[in-house]
Amino acid sequence: MQGLLPYVINGISAGGQYALIAIGYTLVYGILRLINFAHGDVFMVAGLIMVYASASLPMYLAIPLVLVLTALLGFVIERAAYKPLRSAPRMSLMVSAIGVSYLIQNLAFYLTGGLPQPVTNPIPWVSDMITVFGAQTKRVTLVTPVLTILLVLVLVWLTKKTKIGMAMRAASKDFETAQLMGIKINSVISFTFIIGSALAAVASLLFFSNYTTIAPSSGAMPGLKAFVAAVFGGIGSIPGAVIGAFIIGIC
């Protein structure tokens, strides 16, 4: 048990990070029936923003800046790449999503020179080493599942109890009828991308607390695993995506 414990702890931590990314996939799919293939790259961009922001700003300013800029990136992607194709065939949306993914990766290669960027200023406190039942681990492995559950509870409350949340559920249930009922679909979709991107930014901050470098391709594997978790949990379902992510992480 002593030898297995570090793997279980790290698996739960990884599952929490995958859950935050998977929620972005499942929210967008729930409304647009679209797999946002650029979502893993948004996660990677958040990590790069953190590297550059923490090098010149104090951490209490760098973290909010990362969240705001990543949410803004999600908004820009939706407006530039997906909104013009709202009435186009699904294949056109999918091609656009893949194109955005390649565009972000190649821009990151260009701006960084293709070299992995070192994480020289990890988030204090969460990056400290602690001992849990005799196993050495970083504090982020314990913070991640707790923070993930809290954010999911807030998101569930948002979708169940607020006006924008009810609009999201209505659009998810019947896109065309929601439009006919006067729901501002463009605003709902933009808000969905903003929420998903902000959660990906939180996942990125937690994920890269465990790693020393960030490369332009660093979002590919976490994004893929989060997508598998979303599908495994029943894509379109927030609780399903979270449960699937924890299972994938532990496995």
Mean pLDDT per 10-residue interval, the chain, length 251 residues: 75 90 90 86 94 89 94 95 86 91 94 87 78 75 89 90 89 83 88 94 90 88 92 86 91 87
pTM for the full model?
Answer: 0.91
User: Hey, which bits of the chain come out as E strands?
Assistant: 117-118, 129-132, 135-138, 213-214
Q: Which one-letter amino acid corresponds to residue 23?
A: I
Distance in angstroms (rounded) separating the CA atoms of residues 157 and 97: 29
Distance in angstroms (rounded) separating the CA atoms of residues 13 and 249: 8
Q: What is the pLDDT of residue 109?
A: 93
Q: What is the pLDDT of residue 1?
A: 56
Q: What is the pLDDT of residue 210?
A: 81
